[in-house]
Amino acid sequence: MAKLPTERRMMEIGDLNIGESAYVVPHAMWVQAGGECFIHLDYPIYSEKQGNAKLKIKRTNYGFIVFIFDTDYLWPQPEVDGYDVIDEKLNAPVIGFGDALNYEKLSIQELETAINEAEEKENFEEAAVLRDVLYKKRRN
């Protein structure tokens, strides 16, 4: 029986290494009733936007940063959790939403508060993005 060559296999979100980014379909991010988000790891990834794959994600040590402000997609939020047990083999948490342009709209005080909140939640990647925006805002 023939085996599919590795280079012809479609890569999935779960194949991303820490620090790597890709584009996925927006419904690869699922939302719980409380608003908590997670990424379903078996969706295909693309190196650039194509078709419906318009949502950029970046893998970190703690989960994913999702660039939700780059798309006009609206996610449904169920009234009750449909995913009571989150299987860590199939899903990974969304630890923050990356979009420096969105953060630039915040005041210095709002940025400082957001940095503190991100650090309290151990969203260090998001805190780093916020610090960069704060630094640029203070320089201007």
Dist CA 22 CA 53 (whole Å): 9
Instruction: Return the structure tokens found at 17.
Output: 């290494």
Q: What is the pLDDT of residues 25-42, one digit of tens each?
A: 999 998 888 888 899 999
Dist CA 77 CA 31 (whole Å): 6
Bridge-partner residues for 91, per DSSP? Answer: 40
pLDDT at 92 over 60: yes
For residue 57, the SS3 value is: strand
The pLDDT of residue 120 is 86
Which of 140, 6, 123 has the alpha carbon at shortest distance from 60? 123
pTM, two decimals, is 0.66
Q: What is the pLDDT of residues 94-109, one digit of tens each?
A: 877 876 556 677 788 8
